[in-house]
Amino acid sequence: MLTRIDHIGIACFDLDATVEFYRATYGFEVFHSEVNEEQGVREAMLKINGTSDGGASYLQLLEPTREDSAVGKWLAKNGEGVHHIAFGTADVDADAAAVRDKGVRVLYDEPRRGSMDSRITFLHPKDCHGVLTELVTAAGSHVQDPQDH
């Protein structure tokens, strides 16, 4: 079950300048930053608020590390802006399977590593009314199904 807006992914040309914009304009600070070579992005997570499921909502600022990454190609076509939205769940495997059963294309066979050691997958934007949609389970928050016990 999806229980929060986990983050809004924003593609930018210059991560440092964009981080500085959010800091100077709104006072948002960097909570975490990393390079994800598999995704081809350098990223900064700005924590905005806690959520009622015990998680949090972030802005995720993304700068491509190579032009042929998904974010790099998207930026070249669209310019800076909102790249994707992400919903948080305690069980990304179960939710990915459930939406796949409903006919929504899931882009990965198995969830991959996302920010802060989360596990993530993406849904095809053409199956989601134009919105590239990520499902994410934060590290340490996976809740096993009762039948696992």
Q: Catalytic positions, please?
A: 7, 43, 60, 84, 134
Q: Scanning residues 56 to 95, which ones bind a second copy (CB under 8 A)?
A: 57, 59, 79-82, 85, 87
User: What residues have CB less than 8 Å from 121, skipping those under 6 apart?
Assistant: 92, 96, 106, 107, 108, 110, 111, 112, 134, 135
Listed ranges 37-45, 49-57, 66-74, 114-122: which one lies at the site for a second copy (CB under 8 A) = 49-57
Closest CA to 4 of 92, 125, 105, 126: 92
- At residue 83, the 3 state secondary structure works out as strand
Instruction: Name the residue nearer to a second copy (CB basis): 33 or 51.
Output: 51
Size of the site for a second copy (CB under 8 A): 37
The residue from 68, 129, 140, 144 that contacts a second copy (CB under 8 A) is: 129
User: φ, ψ for residue 21 (rounded to 5)?
Assistant: -60, -50
Q: What is the DSSP string of 4-24?
A: EEEEEEEE-S-HHHHHHHHHH
Residue 3 makes contact with a second copy by CB under 8 A: yes
Instruction: Name the residue nearer to a second copy (CB basis): 37 or 82.
Output: 82
Residue 137 makes contact with a second copy by CB under 8 A: no
The residue from 35, 37, 50, 124 that contacts a second copy (CB under 8 A) is: 50
Instruction: Name the residue nearer to a second copy (CB basis): 103 or 140.
Output: 103
The residue from 31, 34, 125, 141 that contacts a second copy (CB under 8 A) is: 125
Handedness of CA 124, 127, 130, 135 (dihedral sign): negative
Residue 1 makes contact with a second copy by CB under 8 A: yes
Q: Which amino acid is at 21?
A: F
- CB atoms < 10 A from the CB of 2, how many? 18
